[in-house]
Structure 1
Amino acid sequence: MAETYALLIGVDAYPPEVSSRPLRGAVNDVLAARAWLAPRGAHLAEIHDAAATRDAIVAGIRSHLGRAGEGDTALLWFSGHGTELETADPRHQRVEAATGRCQALLAVDGPLVDKELGALLDATAAPGTHVVAVLDCCYSGGGTRDPELIPRYAPPRPSWRAPVATGRDAAVTAGHVEPRHALLAASRLTERAYEAETPLGEVRGVFSQALLTAAWAAGPAASCRELLTAAHARVRRLGVPQHPVLWPEEPGGPTDRPLLGGAAATEPSPYLLRCGHDGWEVTAGAAHGLRVGDPARLAFTVTGDGPEGGRTVRARVVEPTRTLVDARGWMPDDRRRAYPVAMSELPLPPATVTIDAAAAPAAAAWIRAAAAGSPLLRVTEKEAEDGRRAALGSAVLRLAVSGEGARVAPVDEDLPPVPELPLRGPLDATRVVDCLHHLARWRQLRDLDCPASSVSSRVSVEIVPWGEEEPCRPGGDGEYLFSYTGGPGHWREPWVSIRLRNRSSVAVWCVLLDLTDSYAANSVLFPGHFIGPGRVGHALDGDPVQLSLPASRPPGPGAAARDWLKLIVAEGELNTVPFHLAPWRPDATPAAREDAAGPGDGVLRLTSPTPSGSRDVGPATGTGHGGPGRWATVTLPLRTVVPVSGRGG
Structure 2
Amino acid sequence: MTTVYALLMGINTYPSADWPALGGCVNDVAAAGTWLRRQRGVEVRARSLLDGAATLGSVVAGIREHLGQAGPGDTALFWFSGHGTEFAATAEEQRIEPTGRCQALVCADGPLPDKLLRPLLDGVAAGGAQVTAVLDCCFAGGATRDAAGTPRYLPPDPSWHASAPVAAPVRAAGGGPTAGPGPGHVLLAAARLNQPAYEDWFDGRRHGVFTHALLGALGEHGGPALSCRRLLAAAHARVQRSGDRQHPVLWPTDAGGPADRPLLGGAPHRPGPYLLSLGGSGWQVDCGAGHGLPTGSAGLATEWTTLPSDGTPPCVLATREVHAERTLVEPADPSGPGPDPAVAHPVTLSALALPPVSVLLEAPAARSGAVARLAAALASAGPGGRPSPLLRTVPRAAAASGTLLRVTVHEGRARILLRDGSPAVPPLPLAGADDARRIARCLVHLARWHQLRDLANPDPSFGSLARIEVVPWDGAAAVTPDGSGEILCHYGDGPDGPREPRVSVRIRNRSRRRPLWCVLLNLTDSYASSPALFPGHFVAPGGTGHALDGEPVHLRLPPGRPPRPGAQARDWLKLIVAEGELNTLPFQFGAWEQDGPADRGTADGADGADGVFRPAPPAGTRDLGPARPPAAGRWAALTLALRTVVPG
Relative to the length of structure 2, the TM-score reads 0.49
TM-score (norm 1): 0.49
Structure with bigger RCO (C-alpha 8 Å, 6+ apart): 1
